[in-house]
Structure 1
Amino acid sequence: MDILSCAGSKFAELLGDATINQTRYLFCFNNIVKELENKETNLKEEKDGINERVEQERQIHRAIVIDKNVEKWLEDVEKEIADVRNLKAIVDEKKSCLNGWCPNWGSRYWLGRKASKKTSKLSDLLQDRSKFSTVARPKPLPSDKELPIPRHFMSFGTTKSACNQIIKALKGDNTKIMGLYGIGGVGKTTLANFVGNQLREENVFDEVGIATVSQDQNIINVQSELVKSLGWELTEKYEKDRARRLRMMFSESKSRKMLIILDDVWNELDLEKVGIPVGDSDNCCKILLTTRLQPVCDRMGCDTQIQLGVLRQYEGLDLLRKHAGIDVADTTLIDVSKRVADECKGLPLAIKAVGNALRGRTADEWNVALDKLQNARLHKIEGIDKDSQGVYGCLKFSYDYLNGEDSRSCFLLCSLFPEDYKIDLEDLLGYGVGLVWYQAESIEKARSLLRGTIKGLKDSSLLLDTDDDGFVKMHDVVRDVALWIGSVEKKFFTSKVGIGLAERAIEKGREQCRGISFVGNKKEELPNGLAFANLHILRLHNAVYDYKLEVPEHFFKEMPALKVVNIIRGVLSLKSLQILTNLQVLQLIRCEVSDASFLGKLKRLQILCLQRSAIEIPEESWDELSRLKLLHIDTSFISPITIKKFPQLEEFYGLIKNWAVEGMSSEESYARYAESDSQPDGSVVHLPKDFSFPKLQRYHIDKVDGNGFVIYRGTRWLCIENDHKATLVIFSALYPELENLYLNRVRGCHNIVPSIDGRGLNELTSLDVNYCEDLECIMDASKSPHGKSGNPVMLSRLARLYMSELQELKWIWKAPAQHVISLQSLTELSVSRCNNLTYIFTLSQARSLVQLKTLEVRECERLECIIKAKFDHNEGEISAVDGNTILELPLLRKLRFEDIPELMSFGSENYYSTWPALEELDLSSCPKLTVNSIELEANLQYLGEAQQTTDEADAS
């Protein structure tokens, strides 16, 4: 009876203050447990579905990056399922009768309560699952371009000999680390790149990765360059975590042979710290390093070492004549060109610079140049060894021969960036505007002038191309010379040795100094101030990833002439900048910023870049910036009304607040208010009915910060999510020159053209459309302003089209029979999960696909064929063989069909296609697909060399 009393007492106690839910824990216990089990089952199914989709992406792209939200969701699901498993085990243990005859009511209550709360958590996770439009994306692929090498490189016996030795050693089993050494400017990087291209082309190595190490030896930068070159991706923040992840990537790719080029190594590099496996039994990768210093090869344990010497006399003369454009029949320059070549000491870098500077010059000018080069050799340069004196003199000569002060200023300014740094031309543009290099009435015209300056510097061999458009690099020897020239002329100074030492080093040139760049690779503190009365440009580049450089409040007090300020990873108050009344350009990158209200004091500001620098700027501060021409702000939302406050604004890159237009219907307004939760303050900006976004020359406008885009300057991007077509009218001024358009969950759109813009979006090159529930076609020529007559021009420059989850899409391109739609610019087309689509192209459209390189179609349930011919009977045949019409897609390299249950053929009726450039063919889960025997025979010669994955496809 004691047990009964105890149980009854506990039961009464619980009932005494129980809510309905608490009572339910007792009397509906079995139902609660059953509900939990059901939710668990549903969640497991969803988890399996997500994992299956991830695996599908992995099979398609081999290398993928799982969306961070999906990754976290999967982790949370695993944790919750494990908790449920433990809870069920306790339930099974406790739900037996106490002493075999009575339930334990206390345990029943607490377990019921716990199970109910856990069910709620599982429900939340199930709800979160519905938000995932994509689960993974392909990892960035390595550039299909070859590693850059200059023309004429292999025309010399000196380099051929070294090249053959390196290739032979790397093909052998005894060389794991190869060292290539030689003086600066002799061509080590070029030779290493050539070797990498050659060995990849010969299939000695499947992948070639490359990273520049430099004197500073920033491990994180080395890791970043390496993974990018290999098409991988690192999301880890810290060096050790990145190295661990990199080793895992190498381990996962151990079946592939890799060559890793480590360029410009100055000291021993700890490969373990980077994450490069060397010496293990699998030997999945080999190393080729370049260095100026032979002892570095010893310290790195190089199995083989090759010295790259200077060019022989006749080789140097030949290279000089090629770059100077000397006709072999021109006898007037024979003698002087030999003597000029001798002054270059066989160094390709010096020879090319001098040759380019003398291109088109007269014999008298050549003789003057020879005198200058000989005199330069006689002047001793402090801190420079005798072997390097010659190249310094040659490069200084090339600098002197540049056309215009703007070119010389730009050249010296490039030296303010760190060694081996990829210099963004948009940064140089900002400096040029701030320092008034160009008398240009707009930023766009200044950009054009800058491109001309950069081309001239590259033609002079003073700047180098990179693998990214819009960036340049400076050879480390050229940069050394630029720094020397800057210090001699007391114009520019760069320090990487600490602020205090730098200040003392430029004491003598304090009054003349116009530009300073401090590059910090260690944690240090800035002094309270620096006295440079005539300083125009200041760069504070803190390269320590986990450290913010604190800028004192009065730091700028004695630098009143500053026009350009660039700070990377700093902490500062904008109050400290208020005295800089001449400031034209302010760039704060990854900074912590306070006192934003003082921004309004910088009334002469033309360019403001706040990249990854969280800041909320009061509306009244914007009112003062009437001269602003370029605004880049990617961590705060700006009102469209604010954008119109800047009468001179030409370019805007950033996030805009959610808006509603007066007079919108309730359905149209719904998206605005539903979307407001995704923005920080949950607010919606109300715009007048006739509001129009200002006409900008360049822009990247992102309405929702969540689609993963990186915002770049110098582009024309528009990214819209969770919207209604009616509200997009505010961008009408931008549509004629729009280049990139991203639409996700935009309602009310039955077509893109002419619905969004009736003028045709003819500058558009890239279009992404996802989850637009009302979309029936991309381009509808039948609804164009031309009516039924004429031939409308629409999307004439479209090169890339990606479509996904468009359930109402019936056509991609729709037009009356008499209209011919040309797709001559299209290079990439990807279609996935568009379940009402029955074909992709008509025959006339397919005939214009002369540029198409990639065609991918996935999970389209009703798709029957790729090319449908029935609309083109009146157009005549292309060419016929035995009654079959042949269509050639001359540049198609990648063809992929996956999970298309109704796909029966590539072309309907008696049409078939050939793909002479095909490199990759993937046909999977297409059970009805029949390959025409003539089509198969026609492509057999190409398919033999293509990478093929076929499944369930028949030939007939």
Structure 2
Amino acid sequence: MEILSVIASKLGELLVDATVKQARYLFCFNSIVKELEDKETNLKEEKDGINERVEQERQKHCAIVVQKDVETWLEDVDKEMDDVRNLKAKINEKKSCFNGWCPNWGCRYWLARKASKKTSKLSDLLEDRSKFSTVARPKPLPSDKELPIPRHFMPFGTTESACYQIIKALKGDNTKIVGLYGIGGVGKTTLANFVGNQLREENVFDEVGIATVSQDQNIINVQSELVKSLGWELTEKYEKDRARRLRMMFSESKSRKMLIILDDVWNQIDLEKVGIPVGDRDNCCKILLTTRLQPVCNRMGCDTQIQLGALKQDEGLDLLRKHASIDVADTTLIDVSKRVADECKGLPLAIKAVGSALRGRTADEWNVALNKLQNAKLDKIEGIDKDSLGVYGCLKFSYDYLNGEDSRSCFLLCSLFPEDYKIDLEDLLGYGVGLVWYQAESIEKARSLLRGTIKGLKDSSLLLDTDDEGFVKMHDVVRDVALWIGKVEKKYFTSKIGIGLAERAVEEGLEQYRGISLVGNEKEELPSGLVCPNLHILRLENTEYDYKLQVPEHFFKEMPALKVVTIIGGVISLKSLQILTNLQVLQLIQCEVSGASFLGKLKRLQILHLEKSPIEIPDELGDELSRLKLLYIDTGSISPIMIKKFPQLEEFYGWIKNWEVEGMSSEESYARRADLNSQPDGSVVCLPKDFSFPKLQRYDINKVDGNGFVMYRGTRCLCIENNHKATLIIFSALYLELENLYLKRVRGCHNIVPSIDERGLNELTVLNVNYCEDLECIMDASKSPHGKSGNPVMLSRLAELSMWELPELKWIWKAPAQHVIGLQSLTKLSVSRCNNLTYIFTLSQARSLVQLKTLEVSKCERLECIIEAKFDHNESEISVGDGNTILALPLLRELRFEDLPELMNFCLENYYSTWPALEELDLSSCPKLSVNSTELEANFQYLGEKLRILKVGKCSHLHDTIDDLLKHGLKNLETLCIEELGVQVVFQVEAIIAEGQENKLFPCLKTLKLKDLRELQVLYHEGPTHNFSLQNLTKLIVQWCPMLRRLFSSTLARNMLQLEQLRIFNCSELEQIIDEGEDEDHLQPVCFPKLTLISVSYCPKIKHLFHISVAQSLQKLKYIFIAANDELEEVFWHKDGADVMEYDEIVMNELRQLELRDLPNLTNFWPAGYHFPFSSASYEIVRNCPKLRPSSEGDR
């Protein structure tokens, strides 16, 4: 009855609301249209504001990425505005229908209803607009992770010589492309990666990108690898669109020096097709390519060509001994090891493989091996040059020495993947399960055995690590050997799809083979079938993005023994697979699939992997696939009931359908229905009250709107959105071993522990909680029945905790003093928009933070401190001593506080914290935050030694603290940003020198940003000596500093040889960039040899920027932006005519972009008698400069 009453009441409300709404359409037409127009105007203003903010970000940074939600919002706004314009046009057309004695009520109703709905949509967009705290971000820098270099890499004289030549060439101004060539296995890739790491470390290049080209020259793959290595993003699908986008990205990153490594080039590659702008005037990047073929260097137009030869005899012997772990004291191997090394012909790849195979062997075994190597010489292999035959013999020897058939099979299977392919270990796991390599009880145990096999192959130098965990790679020479062995042993075969494949299959005798890989990169078709009665593995891959490979209906008819089928980029009806009664593993990736009901015919299937291959799984499948152990489905969803029907299922990665549980209260049910109605698919599965998800060993279960989270195989992850706490009971069997938990908009949940799981979630390592409006704390142990001795440790392995938009959150951990809070594993904590939170930790909780490395807190309106002592009832156990107690956070490296209006201290009362490992300190918009003198003094030494990044803005109480900190000098500081702080001088040099700290100033400072410093008068007070310098400064930004008259002295300017960017904006009193009042030392003129960008705008009192003597050093200058400087007369100036004769030949060959705007008094770019640089600029804008002389008047 209670439920019926609630439903009846709700229906009544809905009927009344609906009636009022319908009447309003008829009688308030003009008001509805007016509301629409008002919303349209408001939305247009908001859109213009967003676009303006995006443009401002673009001005600040050479390259930006617009936030995805902002980009989507702008697209939605454009669409809705178009709709509104069309609707208004219809309203204007039909105006005659609404006037007179007999208005057309039907027309009026229809248009009013349309206008009202559109007004509602515009309101939603306006509301969404308020959520954009940032509209764009600087384009992410590439990972500082080094390019992969094989373990035990040893640079020898041979490689060092080539290395020196490459580095010298790449540092040269006239070199754009360097070619490194040598036979396969000589170490070209390793050396190229080594050079890339070295040049990035030396700051010769800001970014190093790498892509493997390979023989097939798949441009899409080359583009993907390149953007990934540079930290960029490509969303375009087609090659030409991606190339245009890449060129745009390179153009936006002009100011950054880039090295692009193109590895394994076999033929000339069209760089324009890839999107690399090496040939244009910007010359924003250089290329290092590696190839086996010297003529390729000629065809690619290499400015410098360098050959990498084989190692010398002694170098090869040293490398062999290292990989074989030969003890120098072992005299029994001296002679035989020399002879074995000679057989490897100085090729590092062969030496490593042979050495690894002989590691730990006796002298007799070495002699046997030597005999095998001598007899393993190969006379001829089709398609292989004579010089490479030696390495083939050595690698075949290493293959023969592998332990066990599983290792040899795994090695050969890796050759079925395309050249230079990153091989997913989970794919190899599927092959291993399908071929029954491992007699393992479970998928997880088979995975462990596979890891052991892979480690052995890597130790044998037959497989390589990649920069992605969980993937391996095969050297192209090793793959060639594996293909050759597979063909000789009639086991594995690869071929391109094309005309004559069926005939080639007969010629090659494919009926004997166990594994076949067919790859198509053109619009070729498969034959109607292949006769392969012994085939166990079939891999079909199409690499054309705009074409799907059609799999004929009877293609598998003559392949009855198939156990593993992988199809990538195909169109297939599962009906064609029903005859494969032995099939164990089916993997469909990016396929168009039909005939889902036929999956039930594959009774022996153990692994079903459906990736980006939409398919509706039939409900009865769970009863039919009784042996299924692993299910992956990332498109579409599956019922929890069906998952439970798979009796042997061990691992599930995919999306589950909406559900609710029988027995929910009316309030819970109503809330759940509200959640479901807000989702695109409102369908729901009703589960029995006692339903429990099966206890899986590994899983990534998603129920998230939109795209959700990326799924990873081999994890234990649960992602839930728009659910009620009562529905989460179905996962109770998983919580005990759950590793990653993501909750978003989960209602009725007041805490995570014990509400979700009272046992403590002690395997949980990552917890992410967003928009859970009822959540009051993460862990509530306040009512725990356990005593002090029997108290369980909860969340003991939690390493990362992220909380966002939790309006009711009051505590993170709520527990009595005697309760053990297991925070010893926590490494990262992020808290944002939790407006009821007043503190983060109690003192006893904070003492357990021995692993904490990152602490981020933002937009918490009531937060007063980070560590609170008065709520800690265990104070009696703390030794207070002199009234101040130290709390150490030994591993804290990153500390960020933003927009915390009530934050006063890190610790309250008589406590202070120390941060001996702190490297980044970012404090923004914390107006009440202060640091007591004891805390500051305790951290001076640590910060002086460790701090790399210091950002402080809108923290008025930190003025003295920052002053004191800078007075002590920060010798490792790389970035300093100060905003809205009452400082008059940034660097108090006199105070530092007086303390004898000359050697501890700011030797590493690279970026200095000063913004909105209303009281700033000078950058620094120079002391009696000239020891202060910013010799490594590369970027200087000064904005909104109204009291600043001069930026720096000529003495300081002479030391700023590394400066690359100078940006000055809205400094109303600025008269000079370099102080002209000093006695200029003409024997040592000011110069900026690396300066690439000058931007000076809204400085109304500045009359000129630089003396003409500076101009001769600006050989790297690419961008000049000067605007709204009312009194500016000349950009470059000189005191008298004598200077003209000395510097009149100055030109700026690198200048690419010149903008002069709103400069009413500008007469000359530089004085008469000098050459205007405009001709070299590819992009030139001159606007509202009425006094500027034409360039012809300024040219000599």
Which TM-score applies when normalising by structure 1? 0.90
Secondary structure of the 1:839 match is coil
User: Residue 690 of structure 1 aligns with which residue?
Assistant: 690
1:202 is displaced (CA, Å) by: 2.1
1:93 to 1:435, Cα distance in 2 relative to 1, 3 A: closer
User: Residue 1063 of structure 2 aligns with which residue?
Assistant: none
User: Residue 13 of structure 1 aligns with which residue?
Assistant: none
Q: Following the alignment from structure 1 to structure 2, what is the Cα–Cα distance between the partners of residues 163 and 655? A: 51
Is 2:649 the counterpart of 1:649?
yes
Asked if structure 1 preserves the Cα contact closer than 8 Å seen for 2:247 and 2:276, the reply is yes
Q: Following the alignment from structure 2 to structure 1, what is the Cα–Cα distance between the partners of residues 49 and 807? A: 20
Asked if structure 2 preserves the Cα contact closer than 8 Å seen for 1:655 and 1:705, the reply is no
1:262 to 1:487, Cα distance in 2 relative to 1, 3 A: same
Question: Aligned letter for 1:127?
Answer: D
Q: Following the alignment from structure 1 to structure 2, what is the Cα–Cα distance between the partners of residues 130 and 235? A: 28
Q: Following the alignment from structure 2 to structure 1, what is the Cα–Cα distance between the partners of residues 203 and 883? A: 42
Question: Aligned letter for 1:331?
Answer: T
Secondary structure of the 1:421 match is coil
Is 2:191 the counterpart of 1:191?
yes
Q: Following the alignment from structure 1 to structure 2, what is the Cα–Cα distance between the partners of residues 591 and 554? A: 18
Question: Aligned letter for 2:845?
Answer: Q
1:171 is displaced (CA, Å) by: 2.8
User: Residue 257 of structure 2 aligns with which residue?
Assistant: 257
User: Residue 546 of structure 2 aligns with which residue?
Assistant: 546
1:119 to 1:674, Cα distance in 2 relative to 1, 3 A: closer
1:368 is displaced (CA, Å) by: 1.0
Q: Following the alignment from structure 1 to structure 2, what is the Cα–Cα distance between the partners of residues 264 and 300? A: 13
Question: Aligned letter for 1:874?
Answer: E
Question: Aligned letter for 2:206?
Answer: D
Secondary structure of the 2:376 match is helix
1:940 to 1:377, Cα distance in 2 relative to 1, 3 A: same
For 1:404-483, list aligned pairs within 5 A: 404-483=404-483
1:207 is displaced (CA, Å) by: 2.1
1:785 to 1:836, Cα distance in 2 relative to 1, 3 A: same
Question: Aligned letter for 2:868?
Answer: K
1:721 to 1:32, Cα distance in 2 relative to 1, 3 A: closer
Greater CA drift, 393-402 or 833-842:
833-842
For 1:14-413, list aligned pairs within 5 A: 31-44=31-44, 71-81=71-81, 117-118=114-115, 120-127=117-124, 142-413=142-413
Question: Aligned letter for 1:270?
Answer: D
Asked if structure 1 preserves the Cα contact closer than 8 Å seen for 2:185 and 2:350, the reply is yes
Higher helix share: 1
**Residues 404-462 of structure 1, C-alpha deviation per residue, up to 9 Å, x if partnerless?**
00000000000000111111111111111111111111111111111110010000001
Q: Following the alignment from structure 2 to structure 1, what is the Cα–Cα distance between the partners of residues 292 and 902? A: 62
User: Residue 11 of structure 1 aligns with which residue?
Assistant: none
1:826 to 1:620, Cα distance in 2 relative to 1, 3 A: same
Q: Tell me the C-alpha RMSD between the 2 structures.
A: 3.5
Q: Following the alignment from structure 1 to structure 2, what is the Cα–Cα distance between the partners of residues 641 and 229? A: 43
Secondary structure of the 2:627 match is coil
For 1:348-747, list aligned pairs within 5 A: 348-496=348-496, 498=498, 500-501=500-501, 504=504, 507-677=507-677, 682-747=682-747
**Residues 273-306 of structure 1, C-alpha deviation per residue, up to 9 Å, x if partnerless?**
2222224444332222222122222222222222
1:428 to 1:62, Cα distance in 2 relative to 1, 3 A: farther
Asked if structure 1 preserves the Cα contact closer than 8 Å seen for 2:865 and 2:907, the reply is yes
User: Residue 859 of structure 1 aligns with which residue?
Assistant: 859
**Residues 299-354 of structure 1, C-alpha deviation per residue, up to 9 Å, x if partnerless?**
22222222222111111101100111110010111011000001111111111110
Greater CA drift, 209-218 or 397-406:
209-218
1:50 is displaced (CA, Å) by: 7.4
Asked if structure 1 preserves the Cα contact closer than 8 Å seen for 2:797 and 2:822, the reply is no
Question: Aligned letter for 2:547?
Answer: Y
**Residues 605-660 of structure 1, C-alpha deviation per residue, up to 9 Å, x if partnerless?**
11111111111132224321111111111222211111111111111111111112
1:349 to 1:598, Cα distance in 2 relative to 1, 3 A: same
Secondary structure of the 1:923 match is strand
**Residues 105-139 of structure 1, C-alpha deviation per residue, up to 9 Å, x if partnerless?**
99999999868744532312433666799868988
Which TM-score applies when normalising by structure 2? 0.73
Secondary structure of the 1:752 match is coil
Secondary structure of the 1:583 match is coil
User: Residue 951 of structure 1 aligns with which residue?
Assistant: 953
1:176 is displaced (CA, Å) by: 2.3
Q: Following the alignment from structure 2 to structure 1, what is the Cα–Cα distance between the partners of residues 59 and 845? A: 31
Greater CA drift, 384-393 or 870-879:
870-879
1:584 to 1:165, Cα distance in 2 relative to 1, 3 A: same
Q: Following the alignment from structure 1 to structure 2, what is the Cα–Cα distance between the partners of residues 275 and 248? A: 9
User: Residue 848 of structure 1 aligns with which residue?
Assistant: 848
Asked if structure 2 preserves the Cα contact closer than 8 Å seen for 1:263 and 1:291, the reply is yes
1:26 is displaced (CA, Å) by: 10
1:860 is displaced (CA, Å) by: 1.2
1:846 to 1:613, Cα distance in 2 relative to 1, 3 A: same
For 1:725-874, list aligned pairs within 5 A: 725-784=725-784, 786=786, 790-872=790-872, 874=875
Q: Following the alignment from structure 2 to structure 1, what is the Cα–Cα distance between the partners of residues 101 and 915? A: 74
Asked if structure 2 preserves the Cα contact closer than 8 Å seen for 1:493 and 1:506, the reply is no
Asked if structure 1 preserves the Cα contact closer than 8 Å seen for 2:63 and 2:253, the reply is no
**Residues 231-259 of structure 1, C-alpha deviation per residue, up to 9 Å, x if partnerless?**
22211111122222222222333233222
Asked if structure 1 preserves the Cα contact closer than 8 Å seen for 2:827 and 2:854, the reply is yes
- Higher RCO (C-alpha 8 Å, min separation 6): 1
1:150 is displaced (CA, Å) by: 2.7
**Residues 536-576 of structure 1, C-alpha deviation per residue, up to 9 Å, x if partnerless?**
00000111111111111111000011011100111111111
Asked if structure 1 preserves the Cα contact closer than 8 Å seen for 2:864 and 2:903, the reply is yes
Question: Aligned letter for 1:951?
Answer: G
1:491 is displaced (CA, Å) by: 0.2
| Identical amino acids, percent of aligned pairs | 83
1:210 to 1:378, Cα distance in 2 relative to 1, 3 A: closer
Q: Following the alignment from structure 1 to structure 2, what is the Cα–Cα distance between the partners of residues 188 and 85? A: 61
1:670 to 1:86, Cα distance in 2 relative to 1, 3 A: closer
Asked if structure 2 preserves the Cα contact closer than 8 Å seen for 1:63 and 1:232, the reply is no
Q: Following the alignment from structure 1 to structure 2, what is the Cα–Cα distance between the partners of residues 90 and 611? A: 46
Asked if structure 1 preserves the Cα contact closer than 8 Å seen for 2:497 and 2:525, the reply is no
Q: Following the alignment from structure 1 to structure 2, what is the Cα–Cα distance between the partners of residues 799 and 438? A: 34
User: Residue 5 of structure 1 aligns with which residue?
Assistant: none
Question: Aligned letter for 2:121?
Answer: D
Q: Following the alignment from structure 2 to structure 1, what is the Cα–Cα distance between the partners of residues 633 and 64? A: 29
Secondary structure of the 1:648 match is coil
Question: Aligned letter for 2:920?
Answer: E
Q: Following the alignment from structure 1 to structure 2, what is the Cα–Cα distance between the partners of residues 137 and 482? A: 48
Question: Aligned letter for 2:158?
Answer: T
Question: Aligned letter for 2:856?
Answer: E
Asked if structure 2 preserves the Cα contact closer than 8 Å seen for 1:717 and 1:741, the reply is yes
Secondary structure of the 1:930 match is coil
Q: Following the alignment from structure 1 to structure 2, what is the Cα–Cα distance between the partners of residues 443 and 564? A: 16
Question: Aligned letter for 1:721?
Answer: E
Secondary structure of the 1:755 match is coil
User: Residue 1059 of structure 2 aligns with which residue?
Assistant: none
Asked if structure 2 preserves the Cα contact closer than 8 Å seen for 1:57 and 1:137, the reply is yes
1:49 to 1:737, Cα distance in 2 relative to 1, 3 A: farther
Question: Aligned letter for 2:772?
Answer: C
Question: Aligned letter for 2:742?
Answer: Y
Secondary structure of the 1:226 match is helix
User: Residue 942 of structure 1 aligns with which residue?
Assistant: 943
Asked if structure 1 preserves the Cα contact closer than 8 Å seen for 2:497 and 2:526, the reply is no
